[in-house]
Amino acid sequence: MHHPGPLLSLLPQGVLVWDGGWVSGKRLEALLLARHPHNEDWPRFDLYARRVRSLSIHASEAQTLRLLSQHKSTPLFPSLQKLRIWALSITGPFNTLEPFITPSLFDISIEFISKPIQADDCDQLTAFFVALPLRCPRLITLSLYLPPPTSVSFLSRYEDLQNLRIAGQSVNTLELRAISQLPRLRVLTGLKTSSADLVTTPLQLGFPSLARLDFEGEAIRNVSGILGIISSTSFRHLSIVEGGATTWRDYFACLDSISRKGENLIELVLYSTLDPGEPKAIKDTITHVVSRLNLPNLQDLALSHDLGIRPQSSTTKDAKRMALAWPKLTSLDLFECFIGFSIESLAHFASHHPVIESITATIYVDNLSDPFIDSLPILSHNLMTLRIEQGVADDDCFVVARAIGRLFPNLDAATCYLEADSPKLMDTLCMLQKVREDHERRLSLLSVTRLPLECAIGDDRRFPFPVLNFVPLCR
């Protein structure tokens, strides 16, 4: 259930009343407890509440349910498995959450208001989460948006936790050590690292079962220290979102760390903000990146660099290096990346990736001629998505559409996204595909088939007799 309103409506009239108020020029209504419910008021509510497995509610609605639970001897939702509460205030959070904490819970998401709290409230909040694994022994998924400066060291007690999301604050070295010792943790998302440099901080090996890691903040500088403590052999997915600007030196060091640890990676997302003035002093930037990022089993790659400069067009040599560095790639996303393609380098790249399904990149389509287009290879790729992040002038639409249609004849125009200021290019591509399909249909109608016809002569003699079946051309 995404709202407890239908359940609350099962209570007799007079138990709850609507009370409205004005906040920032808007009228907001809330349910208030008008009288104490009696034993005879609960049967209809209990009949449906015990069937609720998932519940998402606002903190104000949770407060109403808490008041109701004070007049009931049994849990409101005895079979609840998934719970999400948001906009929770630190004032009395334990009383608000009390009606929903049942042994059947295995997925909990709690979002507090991002307002700093006092030390006493931090202690009470920590004590609540320390006791939570004992009250919910089946808990395997936990998502927390905690108010600062709450420490997450209590997570060391969640030994059966498999999925963890932390948001709203940075994690220091001690907290990271506590999280890394969780024996069954497979997915860790929302992790933010503090300003402390984890590269030089001695940390013992951890994360024995980790398969996916998504972290942000000062991620580029701390990636080496975090990847260095992962001991899991099933580590496959990595997402890094850099919160601030980084230097090219730290960026290249990050790529080296990923290559050393990511031999078995199948998915990599790397978003960063780089200094736009530095590439002028660095030659062959694309070569530097590709040569450092050798991931033989990578399938999905997404790179983004907020540079504010024109992407560089990769050469055919760069395209071949990419093919060697990522031989199993099925999805490539270079949105807002300094790496771009020309039609020629795109052809070289795609020809070395027969299983590629999605390409998003800035593709330069300058200086295309009919002889050049006719020399392009015809690739039988089942490319599902092609996104060209560059505008094309209306006068060049036909030539560009011809080049795309020749390279990827199986491309579905419905899944092809082109820059918004080039609507004519999409129409031209659709037109060329329709012309080709109509031509292939006419050719199929002109086909001549040989149909075997068996003629019986006598009782035991049978001879095949070929007959030409001419199908007339339908106009």
Element (H, E) at 17: strand 16-23
Q: What domains sit in the chain, N to C, each tagged with a CATH number?
A: 1-169 (3.80.10)
3 state SS of 327: coil
In sequence order, the 6+-apart residues with CB closer than 8 A to the CB of 189 are: 164, 165, 166, 212, 213, 214, 239
pLDDT at position 309 over 90 = no
User: Are the C-beta atoms of 405 and 377 separated by less than 8 Å?
Assistant: no
DSSP 206: B
> Could you tell me the two tokens for 330?
């099925």
pLDDT at position 92 over 70 = no
Band of residue 331 on the pLDDT scale cut at 50, 70, 90: very high
Question: For residue 156, which phi and psi values (nearest 5 degrees)?
Answer: -65, -15
| More confidently predicted of 260 and 224 | 260
Question: For residue 445, which phi and psi values (nearest 5 degrees)?
Answer: -75, -20
User: Are the C-beta atoms of 322 and 348 separated by less than 8 Å?
Assistant: no
Q: What is the pLDDT of residues 392-405, one digit of tens each?
A: 666 677 888 888 88
CA separation for the pair 209, 236 (Å, rounded): 11
Q: What is the pLDDT of residues 253-278, one digit of tens each?
A: 889 999 988 889 999 999 988 776 65
Q: What is the pLDDT of residues 159-186, one digit of tens each?
A: 999 999 998 778 888 888 889 999 999 9
Q: What does the pLDDT average to over 429-444?
A: 77
User: Are the C-beta atoms of 353 and 320 separated by less than 8 Å?
Assistant: no
- Tally of CA atoms within 13 A in the half-sphere of 466 that contains its CB: 5
Region of residue 35 (left: phi > 0; alpha: psi -120 to 50; beta: else): beta
